Chain A
């Protein structure tokens, strides 16, 4: 087995992105406008809104939307890449290669994650220039929280990709899930403003724990102990969702091979 198709897929995606240079450059800097927008929006809300959330509303929403961006990348990219390969007729060739489908799927997300990280770095740097004071309470805890968050998100992306393999038509689940996360993800406002049933529902999603934990570490300067609960919750999501999504994806792939759906679109 070719255990590392990562290099091949990453080089392909970079070459592909670079072939659309204007789009490549614009997408790299697109977060600039979003951060400026949130800065003025926070100013419009005034200091009262900022008192109820850690670090003030501007810092609160910049961290929240950064994480939501990662969720959207991971959630959409798996299904998007499969869809593109279905349309281009390359999916069968990829699955005929000596590379694991899971490795190919994971690798297909790598470039988008790098791009998102560049965008988030820009956003945080700009937010810093606009007055947000970031504090790194515990770097290991921050990294662990981030990795567990990505794993939880990736598991959901893999579920969406499996469904796409069978039902062919693009991303039936991801827009719904994306909107749900924006509403219940502790991204734009604290969960305390939601009605109780919705706030209760949010407990079963990984994003609120990720946003909560990362804000504590980045904006309040809290230590690892303060995010123990968030880490535990995300670890549970990762441990449960990842094997589940792997099984569902493998099952969908088997079904697609059996029904001859790999070249269908």
Chain B
């Protein structure tokens, strides 16, 4: 069976624009190689952790898998299809780490309904999904609040709810528990485990080794854009060495 997420030899360079374009854009001309020959796969019913220091390339990799960024070289496939394919996108859920990515004047329910409709949900099916996800994440009382009034942790819950609203087959999660309190984080992890057991493929970027251990059997470590580990969750000493030097101790 082909993996749900398949990434092969991905390289991503933030290219230096031509001098006149850089001048017009008010930007420098630095060329940054964010990812170097990264390959990975995640199967159905599997949760894989993606670890790495800040700026190691985790978010860039997730954006490439989702089709938001175009890789300089290499290919990414989801369920055997290109990430840009609309049918593929319907089956992918993303919880990004950007807390701004909602409409602040709208309530959480209005936001979730908007994104749910974009993902093809309608009518009572949409309302039922919103209520179900809100119950699962223990955030029913947030639905009627304006997004702009929420705390950082509450916004994070809304981002997780959005990722799950259309019941996706593949989940890409970028530090989903970063701002959650311990209780909310535990609730989320329980829910995620049930999703994985139900056959979902999940790639989760996290900085917490305990979370990686609890959720996944395999871990990928990125260091300065290169993949330096793909295997069992490393111990703390090994992880520190991988993150700082890119090598095992």
Residues of A in contact with B (beta carbons under 8 Å apart)? 1-2, 5, 7-9, 11-12, 15-16, 19-20, 87-90, 92-100, 166-169, 254, 257-260, 262-263
Indicate whether A258 sits within 8 Å of B101 (C-beta atoms), given known contacts A7-B117, A12-B106, A12-B114.
Answer: no
Q: Once bound together, how far apart are the Cα atoms of A96 and B114, in whole Å?
A: 14
Please state if B66 and A16 are interface contacts (CB–CB under 8 Å).
Answer: no
18 contacts between A and B (CB under 8 A): A1-B86, A1-B87, A2-B118, A12-B110, A12-B114, A15-B110, A88-B101, A88-B104, A89-B101, A90-B102, A92-B98, A95-B68, A96-B92, A96-B94, A97-B89, A98-B119, A99-B86, A167-B25
Contact residues on B (Cβ < 8 Å of other chain), bracket: 35 or more
Indicate whether A89 sits within 8 Å of B100 (C-beta atoms), given known contacts A2-B90, A98-B87.
Answer: yes
User: Is B178's CB within 8 Å of the partner chain A?
Assistant: no
Indicate whether A96 sits within 8 Å of B67 (C-beta atoms), given known contacts A2-B118, A11-B114.
Answer: yes
Closest residue of chain B to A257, judged by CB? Answer: B70
- Chain A proximity of B146: nearest CB distance (Å): 8
Number of A-B contacts (CB under 8 A): 99
Residues of B in contact with A (beta carbons under 8 Å apart)? 14-15, 17, 24-26, 60, 63, 66-70, 72, 86-87, 89-90, 92, 94, 96, 98-106, 110, 113-115, 117-120, 146, 162
Of A19, A89, A166, which contacts B106 at CB under 8 A? A19
Please state if A260 and B69 are interface contacts (CB–CB under 8 Å).
Answer: yes
Chain A residue contacts of B26, Cβ below 8 A: 169
Q: Which of B103, B104, B113 has the most CB of A within 10 A?
A: B103
Q: Which of A11, A89, A259 has the most CB of B within 10 A?
A: A259
Please state if A88 and B68 are interface contacts (CB–CB under 8 Å).
Answer: no
Please state if B70 and A88 are interface contacts (CB–CB under 8 Å).
Answer: no
Chain B residue contacts of A257, Cβ below 8 A: 68-70
